[in-house]
Amino acid sequence: MSVSEFSARERTLLGPYFTNLDRGVFALRNLPEVVKGALFSRYSRTTKSLRRVFLDEFISNPDLALEGPTRGEGDGLVAAERAEQFYERVLVGYGDDSVAELGGAHVALEGISALAAKEVEESRIGLSPLEKSTRYVFFDRQVDGQFEYIRPREVMASPLAEIYERSMNACFQTYSEAIVPLMAELREAFPPGPDVSEGAHRAAIRAKAADILRSLLPIGHLTNMGVFGNGRAFEYLLIKMAASPLAEVRELGFQLSRELGMVIPAFTKRAGSERGRDHSAYLRQRELAVGGLAARLRRQLPDRSTGGATAVQAVTIVDADPLAEEKVLAGLLYPHLGRPLSEVRAAVAAMPADERRQLLHAHLDGRGSRHRKPGRAFEMPEYTVELCANFGVYKDLQRHRICTQQRQLIGTHLGYTMPAELAESVYEERFRECMAVADAAYQSLAERFPREAQYVVPTAYRVRWLMKLNLRELAHMVELRSTIQGHPDYRAVVHELTEKVREIHPGLAELATAFVDWSEVDLARLKSEQRNEEKAQALGLQR
Ligand SMILES: Cc1cc2nc3c(=O)[nH]c(=O)nc-3n(C[C@H](O)[C@H](O)[C@H](O)COP(=O)(O)OP(=O)(O)OC[C@H]3O[C@@H](n4cnc5c(N)ncnc54)[C@H](O)[C@@H]3O)c2cc1C
Pinpoint the alpha helices (H) of 4-65: 8-14, 33-43, 50-53
Are 387 and 347 in a shared domain? yes
Alpha-carbon distance 385 to 388, whole Å?
10
Predicted confidence at residue 195, as pLDDT, reads 78
Determine, yes or no, domain membership for 442: no
In this prediction, residue 424 has a pLDDT band, given cuts at 50, 70 and 90, of confident
Determine, yes or no, domain membership for 455: no
Determine, yes or no, domain membership for 443: no
Ligand 1 atom 28: the closest Cα is on which residue? 400
| Owning domain of residue 493 | 313-417+460-543
136 CA: nearest ligand 1 atom? 8
Q: Choose between 210 and 535: higher pLDDT.
A: 210
Ligand 1 atom 16: the closest Cα is on which residue? 399
Residue 229 CA to ligand 1 centre (angstroms): 14
Are 251 and 321 in a shared domain? no
- Residue 363's domain is classified under what CATH number? 3.30.1360.170
In this prediction, residue 159 has a pLDDT band, given cuts at 50, 70 and 90, of very high
The per-residue pLDDT of the chain, averaged, comes to 91
Q: How many domains does the chain have?
A: 3
Q: Is pLDDT above 60 for 68?
A: no
Ligand 1 pocket, mutate which of 133, 134, 401, 472 (most atoms under 8 A from CB): 401
Determine, yes or no, domain membership for 467: yes
Residue 162 CA to ligand 1 centre (angstroms): 39
In this prediction, residue 32 has a pLDDT band, given cuts at 50, 70 and 90, of confident
Ligand 1 atom 22: the closest Cα is on which residue? 400
Residue 488 CA to ligand 1 centre (angstroms): 18
- Residue 149's domain is classified under what CATH number? 3.30.70.3180
Q: Is pLDDT above 90 for 72?
A: no
Predicted confidence at residue 267, as pLDDT, reads 86
Are 272 and 340 in a shared domain? no
Final residue of a structural domain among 236, 266, 300: 300
Q: Output the ligand 1 site: residues, CB below 6 A.
A: 128, 130-131, 133, 399-402, 473, 476-477, 480, 485-486
Are 117 and 173 in a shared domain? yes
In this prediction, residue 276 has a pLDDT band, given cuts at 50, 70 and 90, of very high
Ligand 1 atom 12: the closest Cα is on which residue? 130
Residue 343 CA to ligand 1 centre (angstroms): 37
Q: Is pLDDT above 90 for 38?
A: no
Determine, yes or no, domain membership for 506: yes
In this prediction, residue 426 has a pLDDT band, given cuts at 50, 70 and 90, of confident
Q: In 220-251, which positions are buried (b, 16+ CB within 10 angstroms) versus exposed (e)?
A: bbbbebebebbbbbbbbbbbbbbbbebebbbe
Number of Cβ atoms within 10 Å of the Cβ of 120: 23
Are 329 and 363 in a shared domain? yes
Query: What is the DSSP code (8-state) at residue 149?
Result: B
Determine, yes or no, domain membership for 339: yes
Amino acid at 445: L
Residue 237 CA to ligand 1 centre (angstroms): 19
Q: Is pLDDT above 50 for 302?
A: yes
Q: Which of 534, 542, 498 is nearest to 518 (CA)?
A: 498
Residue 356 CA to ligand 1 centre (angstroms): 32
Are 56 and 116 in a shared domain? no
Helix axes 265-272, 80-94, angle to 10 degrees: 70
Q: How far is CA 83 from the centre of its chain?
A: 32
In this prediction, residue 1 has a pLDDT band, given cuts at 50, 70 and 90, of very low
Q: What is the mean pLDDT of residues 225-249?
A: 96
User: Do 417 and 215 touch, CB atoms closer than 8 A?
Assistant: yes
Q: Choose between 425 and 492: higher pLDDT.
A: 492
Final residue of a structural domain among 300, 334, 367: 300
Are 194 and 280 in a shared domain? yes
373 CA: nearest ligand 1 atom? 47
Are 136 and 236 in a shared domain? yes
127 CA: nearest ligand 1 atom? 41
Predicted confidence at residue 312, as pLDDT, reads 81
Long-range contacts of 59-66 (CB under 8 A, 24+ apart): 59/13, 59/14, 61/86, 64/35, 66/13, 66/17
Q: Is pLDDT above 90 for 110?
A: yes
pLDDT digits (tens, 9 = 90+) for 253-269: 999 999 999 888 888 88
Ligand 1 pocket, mutate which of 237, 479, 480 (most atoms under 8 A from CB): 480
Are 407 and 539 in a shared domain? yes
In this prediction, residue 76 has a pLDDT band, given cuts at 50, 70 and 90, of very low
Are 178 and 35 in a shared domain? no
Q: Is pLDDT above 50 for 31?
A: yes
Ligand 1 atom 6: the closest Cα is on which residue? 133
Are 75 and 118 in a shared domain? no
Q: Give the HSE-up count for residue 247: Cα atoms under 13 Å, Cβ half-sphere.
A: 12
Lowest mean pLDDT segment, chosen from 66-80, 301-315, 418-432? 66-80
C-alpha gyration radius of the chain: 27
135 CA: nearest ligand 1 atom? 8
Percent of the chain with pLDDT over 70: 91
Determine, yes or no, domain membership for 441: no
Ligand 1 atom 30: the closest Cα is on which residue? 400
Q: What is the mean pLDDT of residues 370-378?
A: 97
Ligand 1 atom 43: the closest Cα is on which residue? 128
Residue 400 CA to ligand 1 centre (angstroms): 6
Lowest mean pLDDT segment, chosen from 61-70, 314-323, 510-519? 61-70
Predicted confidence at residue 67, as pLDDT, reads 57
Are 14 and 64 in a shared domain? yes
Ligand 1 pocket, mutate which of 208, 399, 487, 491 (most atoms under 8 A from CB): 399
Predicted confidence at residue 325, as pLDDT, reads 97
Angle at 416 between CA 226 and CA 219, to 5 degrees: 25
Determine, yes or no, domain membership for 145: yes
Q: Is pLDDT above 80 for 370?
A: yes
Predicted confidence at residue 44, as pLDDT, reads 86
Final residue of a structural domain among 50, 65, 95: 95
